[in-house]
Amino acid sequence: MLGFIVRPPHQLLSFLLCPGLQIPRLSVLCAQPRPRAMAISSSSWELPLVAVCQVTSTPDKQENFKTCAELVREAARLGACLAFLPEAFDFIARDPAETLRLSEPLGGNLLGEYTQLARECGLWLSLGGFHERGQDWEQTQKIYNCHVLLDNKGSVVATYRKTHLCDVEIPGQGPMHESNSTIPGPSLESPVSTPVGKIGLAICYDMRFPELSLALAQAGAEILTYPSAFGSVTGPAHWEPASS
């Protein structure tokens, strides 16, 4: 399901993303009105397009990439300048051991394919939650939940490692202990200037901690992102069903 809030210019545009619920696989949205080039009349406005791509990830990383790439190419064809992918766009494993086994560093093959995809399509990519083997992997054998932002040339312009880990007891689903395999990120990332405005990076469970969003807004963020991978129990508890 996708929820989004559009507020007046100079305030916040928030994208709340969660895969696996019944909504279109690709949604194209207009961001805040932005002035055209000075040669055009000052009364004219241009609405940059952004695409929100919904996927249901599996343990097959290449099959997931194929699905995501199809959506990103469609977004580019429709004229979007930035495409958002959800948390765990790379894969969702069957158990914690498989999660660790399938994880990669940012310099690995999978991110290389996404950087090439961004260059090929000429648009920015928000990769909402990558299972990252950090520089401390050999010592910790734990990973980071990393939100990666690529520009239209395929360069990594920002990375945010999820600060608030989801360690909860879920009625009807059992315990969820993200900290068993994941290390909390050490800091926030300053809002990043993009073709659609200044983006503040966050991930899923971070939305329950308003201090984070307040800090990003005070730092100049015009868009707050919460790419998410909710389950069958936690999803309906957070979002209203989308109309068909």
Catalytic residues: 87, 162, 204
Residues 40 and 148: their CA atoms lie apart, in Å, by 34
Return contacts of 235-242, CB within 8 angstroms, 24+ apart.
Answer: 235/1, 235/18, 235/20, 235/21, 238/18, 239/1, 239/3, 239/16, 239/18, 239/21, 240/1, 240/3, 241/1, 241/21, 241/22, 242/1, 242/2, 242/21, 242/22, 242/23
Residues 66 and 36: their CA atoms lie apart, in Å, by 35
